[in-house]
Structure 1
Amino acid sequence: MLIALCQINNTVGDLDGNARLIADFARRAADQGAALAVFPELALTGYPPRDLVEKPSFVDRSEAALASLAASLADLPLGVITGYVSHSPAGSARRAANSAALLAGGRILFTQSKMLLPTYDVFDESRNFEPAPQQTLCTFQGLPLAITICEDAWNDKQFWTRPRYEKDPVEELISQGAALVISINGSPYHMGKRDLRRQMFSAMARRHGVPHLYINMTGGNDQLVFDGSSFAALPDGSIAAEAPSFAEDLILFDTTTGAGDRRPSHQDETSAVYDALVLGTRDYMRKCGFRKALIGLSGGVDSTLVACVAADAIGPENVSGIAMPGPYSSDHSLEDAYALARNLNIRCETAPITQACESITAGLAPLFAGAPPDTTEENIQSRLRGLTLMALSNKWNALVLTTGNKSEIAVGYCT
């Protein structure tokens, strides 16, 4: 069976737009001869939907969108597996489930909800979703499929020394006779995660003796960035198909021959982190409706890096830098800020804050009487920069990008 791994960039809550995206990729898969097209976790609703799933109307719309999607693909000679939000069974503690569906011939042939719901790090799924009580094997065109959803495949007791859950959904489905494991994912990026996924799925494929497909979404949703990096692991542990990181793509894998498309991203971790920042910035702005970015340029490393990311994310023509020299600024700050703007081909303007800083300091002088000057006066400068940037943001309809590094953010000290 020829299977298309469809690595898409969807938008949380945009059911109509996501459905069109799925349909477009499904038609591309059909044009390339695929018998099955597989999409990521919650591809139809976007991930993570968070408290949208607490609204019954949203869950209703998700199920209606799934039925409409199935009908719209009725003319295609292939099946489609996609993630969506479904109503949980009557009497459940939570109103919704994180589910996958198999569509073919205009109908919904099979559904399976997620069993293992993560509640660590950035995840809080058990707050919103009802877990599946069991896993059921799905057969499509004579091939027994184990359809799992992200965390369901992350509890291999042979791979992890301290598994988080009692159940292993993959093991359960293998015992039922699965000949292929399909894992649909909404797995955020962090350093080293791409290699970790491959090690784990390769180990499972070797142990179970069947191919394992890993399909992940790409793109940024709020503070999360998803790298994609979808792949197929063969029973010998080798990688037979792989998609690039931080980009949409469609790759093919043949279950009969074990052959697949290879379009890997050959990048070191530093390059991967930079690409993640660019994608996250681009998608946050695009999905929130912003076209222009505004950055305070100090001439230092932090604002330089943010300006580079912004220029690569949305184009230099959409980035404006503001140099805000004050009484505590160094002589070369303004020169460096303008040199950076020239190198990146971005707009740069100067908004001096010395007069405003002196005016505020003078106004506070009676209250500061008897106290020697210290960082208090310097902090007035940084706060004035924040005020200036937000005023320009409102006037220019541009999103301010903070230049604080993690150390500064951790202690609440950044412009």
Structure 2
Amino acid sequence: MTSPATLRVALAQLPVRVGDLAGNRAAIRAASAWAESVDADVLLTPEMSVTGYPVEDLLAEPGFVDAAARSVDDLAATSGHVVTVVGAPLPTDRLPVAGGARALGSTLDAVVRPLRNAAAVLADGRVQGAHAKTLLPTYSVFDDARHFGAGRRDQALFAVPTPHGPVTVALLVCEDVWDPTLVAEVAAAGAQAVLVTNASPYEVGKPARRLAVLRAAAVAGAVPVAYVNASGGQDEVVFDGGSLVVDADGQLLARAAAFTPDRLVLDLPVAPARPVTRDVVQVDRGAVPARRSLAAPTVAPPLDPHDEVWTALVTGVRDYCTRVGLPRVVLGLSGGVDSALAATIAVDALGPDAVRGVGMPGPYSSPGSVDDAAALAANLGIRFDVVPIADAYAERRTALADVVGGPGTGADPVAWENLQARLRGT
């Protein structure tokens, strides 16, 4: 059969939140309704979109893992004609038998880990397949191999019905696409497009490196790659969004905005039909709607490197405060550049009414420190109070004199300066 020209792929760059099963489920449902409205064949949501990521020690709670699996079932029950890919931690006995997601790939040790970092395929009211993440990172903020068993490299492909005939696609999860040999393997096995779900945290320069990796992977496999990422801050991690689609020549076709929820939809030119050498899960969509025309896909411009870093800092502070219920922040302002930077980030994240500065002059403070702090507060439009700490400092120095040593005893004067800094924390 002649290969159809395109696969209509929708990418939902969601700000999923760890542990918020109901909120994440609602966000996925809203994305599914949008994908239906644009006649998408496939909707991609981020890695672990059902639970948020990184899930960490919640995965040791059987009740949470069971609730996450039930969330997948709930989403499947309301799924429609769009093939929706969601991420969740699924026990092997909750994974479909077909497709090979239950099977264990490479292992680091002898510990049996029955969970898989899975991309579940939902359509027409049920779970129709799944793919288990193959490469489990254990560096930086990642600890996947502690919780999950690795999926095999030769898991099944998926045949997705389109108005022009079926398209054979491969699913990969995050780290998998950073190994170009995996993309080449699935392409050689018959995949006409590679669809990747991700929760890829921000690092300085990461967006440019990510695009380079996707281009190299696409060229290595002569296959297009659609890559959806999460967005927003989760504790100490910030996901920078910037979801990408590249064609088989590595050319950028679409890019979502950075550091914010966004959506992309496009008709992805797929690779020509190839001999298939793996099992294929035939996805049933029910009725396949005809496609209405689309506007040209969005290609968001990359951020300036300084704007990229600044936006990451602001996003991390804003989402942390919002998600843990901190409506206001209080900062000590010393007149130095470090506190000035922290205050400016806080104002950009939360607004001036939510930020309060406190100047705390002590015996080691320069005369201009309070003036500089007051000028900063005025420039930012935040409240500023002055609370002198010289008397409190003298009291504590007297109490510690016999332990640390007073003048003439050879005690390091830096110890007394640090006392002032610690007192500000009080």
TM-score range, shorter chain: 0.7 to 0.9
TM-score (norm 2): 0.84
Contact 1:297/1:304 (8 A) holds in 2:
yes
Gaps of 5+ in 1: 157-167, 388-415
Q: In the alignment, does 2:48 pair up with 1:42?
A: yes
CA distance in 2, matches of 1:117, 1:257: 28
Query: Which of 220, 223, 230 is the matching residue for 1:207?
Result: 220
Instruction: Tell me what 1:181 maps to.
Output: 194
Contact 1:217/1:227 (8 A) holds in 2:
yes
| 1:234-383 equivalences in 2 (<5 Å) | 234-256=247-269, 261-367=297-403, 368-369=405-406, 370-372=408-410, 374-383=413-422
State the Cα deviation string for residues 16-36 of structure 1 (Å, max 9, x = none). Answer: 110101111221222223222
Instruction: Tell me what 1:83 maps to.
Output: 87
| 1:49-64 equivalences in 2 (<5 Å) | 49-64=55-70
| 1:66-105 equivalences in 2 (<5 Å) | 66-73=72-79, 76-88=80-92, 93-105=112-124
State the Cα deviation string for residues 4-45 of structure 1 (Å, max 9, x = none). Answer: 111111110111110101111221222223222110100111
How far residue 181 of structure 1 moved from its aligned partner, in angstroms, is: 0.3
CA distance in 2, matches of 1:77, 1:17: 23
Contact 2:193/2:270 (8 A) holds in 1:
no
Contact 2:253/2:299 (8 A) holds in 1:
no
CA distance in 2, matches of 1:265, 1:189: 17
Contact 1:2/1:34 (8 A) holds in 2:
yes
Q: In the alignment, does 2:145 pair up with 1:126?
A: yes
Query: Which of 155, 168, 176 is the matching residue for 1:135?
Result: 155
Number of matched residues?
A: 374
Q: In the alignment, does 2:178 pair up with 1:154?
A: yes
CA distance in 2, matches of 1:41, 1:112: 11
CA distance in 2, matches of 1:83, 1:366: 60
Q: In the alignment, does 2:211 pair up with 1:198?
A: yes
**Paired residue secondary structure (1:326):** coil
**Paired residue secondary structure (1:255):** strand
State the Cα deviation string for residues 247-303 of structure 1 (Å, max 9, x = none). Answer: 110011212499952241432211100000000111111111211111110111111
Contact 1:251/1:260 (8 A) holds in 2:
no
Q: 1:260 to 1:226 in 2, by over 3 A?
A: farther
**Paired residue secondary structure (2:196):** strand
Higher relative contact order (CA 8 A, sep 6+): 2
Q: In the alignment, does 2:120 pair up with 1:114?
A: no
CA distance in 1, matches of 2:34, 2:349: 27
Contact 2:41/2:160 (8 A) holds in 1:
no
Contact 2:357/2:385 (8 A) holds in 1:
yes
Instruction: Tell me what 1:16 maps to.
Output: 22
CA distance in 2, matches of 1:260, 1:229: 17
Contact 1:88/1:94 (8 A) holds in 2:
no
**Paired residue secondary structure (2:254):** strand
State the Cα deviation string for residues 142-179 of structure 1 (Å, max 9, x = none). Answer: 111110001111112xxxxxxxxxxx432332222100
CA distance in 1, matches of 2:325, 2:297: 35
Q: 1:295 to 1:362 in 2, by over 3 A?
A: same
How far residue 229 of structure 1 moved from its aligned partner, in angstroms, is: 0.8
**Paired residue secondary structure (2:23):** helix
**Paired residue secondary structure (2:265):** strand
Contact 1:278/1:313 (8 A) holds in 2:
yes
CA distance in 2, matches of 1:123, 1:98: 13
How far residue 363 of structure 1 moved from its aligned partner, in angstroms, is: 2.0
Instruction: Tell me what 1:408 maps to.
Output: none
Contact 2:121/2:127 (8 A) holds in 1:
yes
How far residue 366 of structure 1 moved from its aligned partner, in angstroms, is: 3.3
Q: Which runs of 4+ in 1 moved over 4 A?
A: 89-92, 256-260
**Paired residue secondary structure (1:117):** coil
**Paired residue secondary structure (2:28):** helix
How far residue 105 of structure 1 moved from its aligned partner, in angstroms, is: 1.1
CA distance in 2, matches of 1:123, 1:294: 31
Contact 2:224/2:270 (8 A) holds in 1:
no
CA distance in 2, matches of 1:264, 1:301: 33
Contact 1:54/1:95 (8 A) holds in 2:
no
CA distance in 2, matches of 1:363, 1:124: 46
Q: 1:308 to 1:58 in 2, by over 3 A?
A: same
State the Cα deviation string for residues 77-136 of structure 1 (Å, max 9, x = none). Answer: 312111111003599711311000111111111111111101122212101111113421
Q: 1:48 to 1:223 in 2, by over 3 A?
A: same
